């Protein structure tokens, strides 16, 4: 028998219902000796002791504050119902009776359990629940809000770093490294499942001339203008990325060739009709090559779209060409 179990075994169990004890009034009827309960109270820790019937025998001031334990809350169920009614204490994702039913199944299911508690006020606590011989439960609760805050900051920093690694800094679109990975996956998936998938390679016409005549700052405005305009013309399931200086890639899952041509033509026509780029007296056009996956590898699909783009340029630019 463990030392803690021996303490309980040597104690006198309560024989009648009593109000929950405070540090000042905890008596020898408790499963834990007075000196031990006094030590719990003096530690400033958040501690509660429940008897085998889940009646609250002892609670420290810290625990009372965390769970808003009021006079008359004589059991675990009473405490949780009061928290639910006053919207204090832990967050409840289901109705209180379902929550209590689930909690009863977990309590005393193991000699020791530990778990996080998400509180209504935004704080987080770590709960350690120890079950002793006869069903007595000792609960320790520790504030881990600073740790969770640091954890959230680290997760945010990680996500931002990943986003930066995957994103073109100028346009906010996906960059070549990331979109090529997505493109390979989508191509192989379409080949395996026999689903439709089309890709378009888009090139802004005479972009070098724009940079030479108006400057690179103007060229950057043109790139951003195209990115914003194109995003308005595609579906939520499509992926637009910048893969080179003035080169873009559009992934269109679930789309056959003719519909893909229609989508890209909608973008091309919008660009042709758009007002001059803000702050610069210039307009621009685009050329595009489009290919539908026919079960080939990603490299072959990319080459077919690239050849179609080359034909569009050779035919005078400001046009789209479908792969043959």
Active site residues: 246
Alpha-carbon distance of 238 to 198, in angstroms, equals 10
Which tokens sit at 264? 């890209």
The token pair at 140 is: 């320790």
In which order are the strands placed within the sheet that holds 286-292? 239-242, 247-253, 197-204, 286-292, 320-322
In which order are the strands placed within the sheet that holds 124-131? 56-59, 46-50, 137-143, 124-131, 112-118
**Which token pair is 103?**
């909690």
**201 DSSP β-pair partners:** 249, 289
Alpha-carbon distance 282 to 277, whole Å? 6
Dihedral sign computed on CA atoms, order 302, 202, 177, 231: negative
Helices (H), the chain: 3-9, 34-43, 61-67, 76-86, 96-106, 145-166, 176-193, 207-214, 216-233, 257-273, 298-314
Find the angle CA(24)-CA(28)-CA(33) to the nearest 5 degrees.
85
Q: CA 131, CA 208: separation in Å to the nearest integer?
A: 74
Residue 139 phi, psi dihedral angles, 5° rounding: -115, 125
Largest distance between two CA atoms of the chain: 97
Whether the CB-CB separation of 118 and 91 falls below 8 Å is answered with yes
Q: Computed from CA positions of residues 105, 108, 112, 117, in that sequence, does the dihedral angle turn out positive or negative?
A: positive
| Cα separation, 276 vs 8, whole angstroms | 83
């Amino acid at each position: 028998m463990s030392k803690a179990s021996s303490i309980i075994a040597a104690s006198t169990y309560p024989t009648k219902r009593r109000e929950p004890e405070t540090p000042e009034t905890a008596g020898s009827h408790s499963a834990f000796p007075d000196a031990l309960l006094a030590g719990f109270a003096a530690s400033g820790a958040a501690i509660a002791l429940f008897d085998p019937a889940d009646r609250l025998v002892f609670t420290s001031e810290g625990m009372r504050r965390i769970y808003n334990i009021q006079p008359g809350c004589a059991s675990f169920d009473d405490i949780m119902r009061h928290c639910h009614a006053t919207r204090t204490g832990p967050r409840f994702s289901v109705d209180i009776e379902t929550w209590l039913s689930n909690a009863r199944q977990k309590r005393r299911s193991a000699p020791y359990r530990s778990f996080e508690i998400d509180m209504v006020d935004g704080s987080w606590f770590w709960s350690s629940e120890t079950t002793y011989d006869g069903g007595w439960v000792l609960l320790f609760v520790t504030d881990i809000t600073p740790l969770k805050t640091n954890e959230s900051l680290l997760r945010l920093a990680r996500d931002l770093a990943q986003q930066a690694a995957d994103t073109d800094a100028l346009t906010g679109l996906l960059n070549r490294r990331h979109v090529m990975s997505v493109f390979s996956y989508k191509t192989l998936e379409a080949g395996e499942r026999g689903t439709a998938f089309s890709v378009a390679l888009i090139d802004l016409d005479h972009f070098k001339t724009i940079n030479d005549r108006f400057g690179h700052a103007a060229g950057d405005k043109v790139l951003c203008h195209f990115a914003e305009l194109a995003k308005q013309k595609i579906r939520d399931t499509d992926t637009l990325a910048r893969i080179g200086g003035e080169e873009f890639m559009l992934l269109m899952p679930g789309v056959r060739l003719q519909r893909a041509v229609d989508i890209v033509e909608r973008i091309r026509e919008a660009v042709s009709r758009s007002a001059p780029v803000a702050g610069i007296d210039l307009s621009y056009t685009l050329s595009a090559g489009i290919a539908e996956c026919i079960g080939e590898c990603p490299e072959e699909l990319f080459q077919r779209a690239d050849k179609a783009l080359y034909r569009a340029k050779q035919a005078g630019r400001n046009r789209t060409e479908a792969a043959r």
